[in-house]
Structure 1
Amino acid sequence: MGLSGAAFAVGAYALWGFLPLYFLLLEPTGPWEVVAWRILLSLVFYAVLVPVIGGWPRLRAVMADRRLVVWTAVAGLLIYLNWQIFLIATLTGHVIEMSLGYFINPIVTVLLGVIVLRERLRPMQWLAVGLAVSATLVIVVGYGSFPWLALGVAFSFGLYGLVKKHIGPSVDVTSGLTLESLWLAPLAVGQLVVVGLTTGLTMGSAGPGHAVLLALAGVVTAAPLMLFAAGARRVRLTVLGIAQFITPTMQLIIGVWVLDEPMPPERWIGFAIVWLALVVFTLDSVIVARTRRGVRRTEIAAGVTE
Structure 2
Amino acid sequence: MTPLRLGYLYGLGAYLLWGFFPLYFKLLRPAGPLEILAHRVVWSVAFVALLLAAMRNIGFLRTLGRRPRVLAGIGAAAALIGLNWFTYIYGVNSDRVVETALGYFINPLVVVLLGVLVLRERLRPAQWVALGVGALAVAVLTVDYGQLPYLALTLAFSFGGYSLVKKRLGLPAAEGLFVESAVLALPALAYLGWLTATGDVAFGHVSAGHTALLVLAGAMTAIPLLLFAGAANRLPLTALGMIQYVTPVLQLGWGVLIFHEPMPPARLAGFALVWLALIVFTADAVRHARLSRRARLAAALVTAPDALPTPR
TM-score of the two chains, using structure 2 as the length reference: 0.95
Q: Does residue 238 of the first structure (1) align with residue 238 of the second (2)? A: yes
2:6 aligns to what SS in structure 1?
helix
The one-letter code of the counterpart of 2:18 is: W
Correspondence for 2:219 = 219
Question: In 1, distance between residues paired with 2:173 and 2:258?
Answer: 34
The one-letter code of the counterpart of 1:241 is: G
Structure 2: 5+ residue stretches without partners: 307-312
Question: In 1, distance between residues paired with 2:239 and 2:90?
Answer: 30
Q: Could you say if the C-alpha distance between residues 149 and 198 of structure 1 is closer, same or farther in structure 2, counting changes exceeding 3 Å?
A: farther
> Pick from 25, 33, 36: which aligns with 2:35?
33
Deviation at 1:195, TM superposition (A): 3.8
Question: In 1, distance between residues paired with 2:119 and 2:283?
Answer: 23
Question: In 2, distance between residues paired with 1:199 and 1:31?
Answer: 17
The one-letter code of the counterpart of 1:130 is: G
Question: In 2, distance between residues paired with 1:46 and 1:276?
Answer: 39
- 8 Å CA contact 2:33–2:90 kept in 1: the answer is yes
Structure showing greater Rg: 2
Once the two structures are superposed, the pairs formed by residues 87-98 of structure 1 within 5 Å of their partners are 87-98=89-100
> Pick from 109, 131, 134: which aligns with 1:132?
134
Question: In 1, distance between residues paired with 2:199 and 2:103?
Answer: 29
- 8 Å CA contact 2:98–2:261 kept in 1: the answer is yes
The one-letter code of the counterpart of 1:2 is: L
Deviating more after overlay: 64-73 vs 175-184: 64-73
* Cα deviation code 1:236-293 (max 9, x no counterpart): 0001100110000000000000000111111100000000000000001001100000
Once the two structures are superposed, the pairs formed by residues 97-246 of structure 1 within 5 Å of their partners are 97-168=99-170, 171-196=171-196, 200-246=200-246
Q: Does residue 249 of the first structure (1) align with residue 276 of the second (2)? A: no
- 8 Å CA contact 2:174–2:222 kept in 1: the answer is no
Question: In 2, distance between residues paired with 1:173 and 1:138?
Answer: 37
Question: In 1, distance between residues paired with 2:242 and 2:174?
Answer: 25
Please, what is the CA RMSD of the aligned residues?
1.2
> Pick from 64, 83, 86: which aligns with 1:84?
86
Question: In 2, distance between residues paired with 1:197 and 1:109?
Answer: 42
Question: In 1, distance between residues paired with 2:144 and 2:27?
Answer: 33
TM-score of the two chains, using structure 1 as the length reference: 0.97
2:59 aligns to what SS in structure 1?
helix
Q: Could you say if the C-alpha distance between residues 53 and 255 of structure 1 is closer, same or farther in structure 2, counting changes exceeding 3 Å?
A: same
Correspondence for 2:276 = 276
* Cα deviation code 1:67-92 (max 9, x no counterpart): 11111111111100000000000000
Correspondence for 2:309 = none
Structure 1: 5+ residue stretches without partners: none
Q: Could you say if the C-alpha distance between residues 63 and 280 of structure 1 is closer, same or farther in structure 2, counting changes exceeding 3 Å?
A: same
Aligned residues: 304
1:56 aligns to what SS in structure 2?
coil
Question: In 1, distance between residues paired with 2:271 and 2:123?
Answer: 23
Question: In 2, distance between residues paired with 1:232 and 1:19?
Answer: 21
- 8 Å CA contact 1:39–1:185 kept in 2: the answer is yes
Question: In 2, distance between residues paired with 1:90 and 1:194?
Answer: 24
Deviation at 1:47, TM superposition (A): 1.2
Q: Does residue 305 of the first structure (1) align with residue 305 of the second (2)? A: yes
> Pick from 7, 13, 16: which aligns with 2:15?
13
